[in-house]
Structure 1
Amino acid sequence: MTTAPGTVLVVEDEPSIADVLSIALRFHRFEVMTAGTVREALALTGPVRPDVALLDVMLPDGDGRALGRELRERRPDLALVFLTARDAPAEIVGALGFGDDYITKPFDIDVVVARITAVLRRTLPHARTRSRGGTPIADVLPQRPPLRYGDLELDEATYSAHRAGRTVELTPTEYALLRFLVRNGGRIVPKEQLLRHVWQYEHTPPESTVVETYISYLRRKLDALGPPLITTRRGVGYGLA
């Protein structure tokens, strides 16, 4: 059996957002199930009982709040956290009327993990072991091959990073940023694209320096283990050498 802080159902129709959320949650040893529609979410929660559902309010085939109500009817102790771009007071009050938390986009990945952890701390008496038909959930998740670029390797199963065989200690946000750069190979990725895929910013805040800050964090950690790896194209973006 596999012990984890809890099982999270992520229901988000934007693949890049669902991917980043899954990375951050699994990085913190949560078991994660993902769905892009109401129908997929209901099908997933038949054989497996999640501890918390992170629900996008606007889904292609329905309303995330209505989905939350249906899931709560199936399991009264299920924690609900809503994720949406809507931040009107009426929207927040309505969701919190039966949900446990409400997170607006754009969001910080580490804050989402902290909020889910706090919700589970309130709703779960202790960390529990979940299984599907006697088999640990972590064992039935699809195994992904490592991502490699030069002497850098990202393990998609454990969400860990190694350079020249040595472990690189990364936060979930640093891992997500580096993973996106590796997936783009030697291509220069515009800053706006990084903000959209890693931080979920729909519109780039003109004063934002979050990308530059996290690039400097990565450089400090990666350059300690080998030649400079991240390159800068001034006025454009970042890539790997």
Structure 2
Amino acid sequence: MSLRRHVLWLIAMLYACCSLGQTQDDQLKVATGKDYPPFISERFPQGGWSQAIVAKVFEHMGRDIAVDILPWDRALMWAGQNQYLGIYPYVYSDARAAQFLYSDPINYFPIRLYVTKASGITRLEQLNGARFCLPYGYNLGHSDDSLYSQLHWKVSHAADIQGCQLQVQKGWSDASLFNGYMQLDSIENNNVELVVLDQDLGTVALHFLIAKSYPDASQWMQKFNVALAAITASGERAKIDRHFKQILSELN
């Protein structure tokens, strides 16, 4: 190989390596949790409602994202260690707000409560002083303090939503929360009937989070919110919302 051809070959290889590095660097790493229908779920189109909106936000920003699906607590921990640009969808809590920036809401969901039919409970007021089960890592956002103080709930925890459902069925808890968009799952080998109370407890917002320690965190969050506002103004977000609400109406 001539010296000129050798130099050109080295330049080409260096360019290819640099280009590859730039492509990898340009792909932003984000993370979400496991199976939180209808917002994050393989059973829904585009991986879920929140996933569809977040993907559209970054598409509007002109950025490619790599999405990792993790246990919720691990996603929170690793994002806090700056291994991810952001995580989603999470409700607000003061503890998380000390470490993370919160985006404008990407989704909302209605809160309902369920009890056993045998309990005879039909109204929220009957749950004064009740034992309330909440899955670890879950809360009701800003609704927590007012509900707990007004109704004097004694809060216990379970590993997940199904664990709380089992607690209520076995009588270890009197009630637990329910995403008003979905139906209660059945638990095998347990014939205790559950009923959902008619009263809504309001809505809870879901957010995209960025660790405050992440490089240029405030600028990234500003970009995210600007893009979210843009797809809202253009009607793209409303189109996604209508699509998922239609799916949910057909499921229910």
Could you tell me the TM-score, scaled by structure 1's length?
0.30
The structure in which a higher percent of residues are helix is 2
Higher relative contact order by CA 8 Å / sep ≥ 6: 1 or 2? Answer: 2
Whichever of the two has the greater Rg, that structure is 2
Could you tell me the TM-score, scaled by structure 2's length?
0.29
